[in-house]
Each structure stands twice: as C-alpha cells, then as structure tokens.
Amino acid sequence: MAQAEAFDRSAPRTERYDQLDMQCRALLTDADPIANQANFVALLHMAFGWHWVGFYRVAGDELVLGPFQGPVACTRLFKGKGVCAEAWARNAPVVVPDVDAFPGHVVCSAESRSELVLPVRNAAGEVAAVLDVDSVERGDFGQDDADRLQAMVDAVSHRLLNEGSPDV
C-alpha cells in the first residue's frame, strides 16, 4: 500500500508543488482511474489545505461529481454555467480571484471565495474531466498555481482517465 509523506504547509508553495509532483507520479499507478483521482485530490488537499478539491467528469452536456476532498458538493454542473463549465468550454485553466465577481458562479459552498479549475484532457486533447479547487481566501490562486497544476495534470492525465499511456 502506498503511503504519502506529510507536507509542510509552512513551506513555500513552489516547494510543496515540487514535492507533490514527485509523490503523485509515484502514487498514481493503479489501473483504476477513480482510485487515482481519489489519491490525487487527497494529495492536493494534504499539501495545501484548500477548502475543496475534486474532479467533475464530462458526461454528455453535464459535469458529474467525482472523487473529492472537502464539504458536500454539487452533484451535477451544467454546460454554460459556472467556473467549471468555463474551463470545460475553453479547454484551458480558469483562475477566479473572487467568485462573487464571476458571472454565473455556481455556489456549492458559501465559504468558497476563490477558485481554480483545470481541464483534464484525454489523448485526443478533448476535456474529459475538470479539476476544481476552491479556497476560503480571496485571491488565493494565481497564474503560477494554474501553470504548475496544469502541467502536473497533463503529466498524469492518462492515469486519471485510464488511457493506458506510458508509466507515470
């Protein structure tokens, strides 16, 4: 059984991203994508302590809740509404410093103040899921967070989607 080391939340984010990158590549080795998604969000939650971290998978014209860490979440999100749908439509990360200022923001938790959503792309480059990260602090996410997490998600997307690509 894999065991992840504890993260030092007082360490700079860059150091935690470096440690997270090494750990997720070693941990996400199961053939089951749900198990890998669950461990990925657990690692993010452990490393940063964000309010909510989880996946929504594309199912037709909806995003359906997948593995997550945090309070109870919206089960289904709809195309064209909210930050997750925006990342899905753009096929690009979306950083929202203040969710109250985002038109059409879907409130799943009244405590969320900022949000980062990243596409999880299949081998064809299409969005198969999104990774949603919420913080109780306004302005908690920046371009560096989007870049570091997107690179990490891209590197392990075959394990998150069970596409049978090369080893992590």
Give the pLDDT of residue 1: 43
Angle (deg, nearest 10), helices 13-27 and 143-161: 0
97-120 pLDDT, tens digit per residue, is 998 888 777 777 777 889 999 999
Tokens representing 168 are: 């992590």
Both structure tokens of 167: 């080893």
* pLDDT value of position 158: 93
Q: Which tokens go with 58? A: 């594309």
Per-residue pLDDT tens digits for 129-142: 999 999 999 999 99
User: Whole-prediction pTM value?
Assistant: 0.91
Answer whether 116's CB lies under 8 Å from 130's CB: no
Structure tokens at 5: 């080391």
Q: Tell me the C-alpha distance between 73 and 6, whole Å.
A: 26
Q: From residue 96, how far is each of 28, 64, 84 by CA, in Å?
A: 28, 21, 11
Contacting residues for 49 by C-beta, under 8 A, at least 6 apart? 9
> What pLDDT sits at residue 56?
96
What residues of the chain score a pLDDT lower than 50? 1, 165-168
Residue-level pLDDT at 167: 46
Give residue 80's pLDDT: 85
Domains, in order of start, for the chain: 13-161 (3.30.450.40)
How many residues belong to the chain?
Answer: 168
Contact (CB, 8 A) for 54 and 153: no
Instruction: Please state the separation of Cα 38 from the chain's center in Å.
Output: 11
